[in-house]
Amino acid sequence: MFFIIGLGLGDCKDITVKGLEIIKKCERVYLEAYTSILTCGTDALEEFYGRKLIIADRDLVEQGADDILEGAQNSDVGLLVVGDPFGATTHSDLVLRAKEKGIKTQVVHNASILNAIGCCGLQLYSFGETVSIPYWTETWQPESFFDKIITNFKNKLHTLCLLGNIIAALKHMYIIIMLQDIKVKEPTLESLTKKKKEYMPPRFMSVNEACQQLTQILQKRLLKNDKLEITEESLCVGLARVGSEKQQIIACTLQEMCKIDLGGPLHSLVIASPDLHPLELEYLDQFRLKL
């Protein structure tokens, strides 16, 4: 059996009882370590689970799926995923690969940012399409996510902006270069032309970086005389390390958020609807920026 087990929002004790029981009986247990990160660290997980984990980096998950699934027809193999297993398309692909090989699969769900975002007081049923904001480069500055934010805003819906779950493809010098806004194990552009990969240092997008990119888009579109519902005074909510003891939430304007430092990763950003329920306003008040 192949198990994909959600770990929740990052603490080693966030795992479900069912998930922990499965981990203890598996012959091999992999820890997926690139679509998200843990707040507690691998050592704390191994100590709590009472067993060694195999780190599954991006190369192993994307190119070595057969190695992960090897032997799962006759023994139990587990893959641990931060959040919920279906928070990233990579894990859906693994389930399909397992089924192609005739391997039985079981998914153990857990909390993810998609439902835990309610901690800021904005009501979950008032959220529209979720978007991902990638890091820009000098030659690649996509804006498609902004149009989705505008659509949600027009429909009086909140937008959850993920600052850590997108992988975008960029064609550069006839090579497909993979870029992602969580840059945990990213090959440098130069090394892609070599046989040996060299990796960028880890990098995690913050709410202020995301808002700086959003304001740049606003400014460019204003120069084109576009009529925009969203302005630099629109209400945003920045969240960091949701679910941990060091969780932080702040509500302020888009312009103010450009200067906010919420500390270490992971961060998420919400562009609030222009039409807030009185209960949402009351709840958000505790997180308002105090100048």
Of 228, 186, 231, 232, residue with least CA distance to 205: 186
Cis peptide before 60 (omega within 30 of 0): no
Is 242 annotated in a binding site? The answer is yes
Rounded Cα distance, 183 and 186, in Å = 6
Annotated binding-site residue? 163: yes
158 marked as binding residue: no
Residue type, 20: L
Cα gap 46→106, rounded to integer Å: 22
- Greatest Cα pair distance in the chain: 63
Rounded CA gap, 162 and 116, in Å? 13
Q: Which of 178, 207, 191, 164 is nearest to 33 (CA)?
A: 164
Tell me if 109 is assigned to a ligand binding site: no
Under a CB-based contact definition with an 8 Å cutoff, are residues 163 and 133 in contact? Answer: yes
Confirm whether residue 84 is marked as ligand binding.
yes
Place of tokens 């995923």: 81
C-alpha closest to that of 76 among 11, 19, 7, 35? 19
Radius of gyration, CA atoms only, the chain: 20
CA 93, CA 97: separation in Å to the nearest integer?
6
The answer to whether 9 is annotated as binding is yes
Strands across the sheet with 159-162, in order? 131-132, 159-162, 267-271, 235-240, 248-253
What order of strands is seen across the sheet that includes strand 28-32?
54-56, 28-32, 77-81, 2-6, 105-108
Annotation-wise, does 289 bind a ligand?
no
112 labeled binding residue: yes
Extract the annotated binding site.
9, 84, 87, 112-113, 163, 242, 267
Extract the annotated binding site for S-adenosyl-L-methionine.
9, 84, 87, 112-113, 163, 242, 267
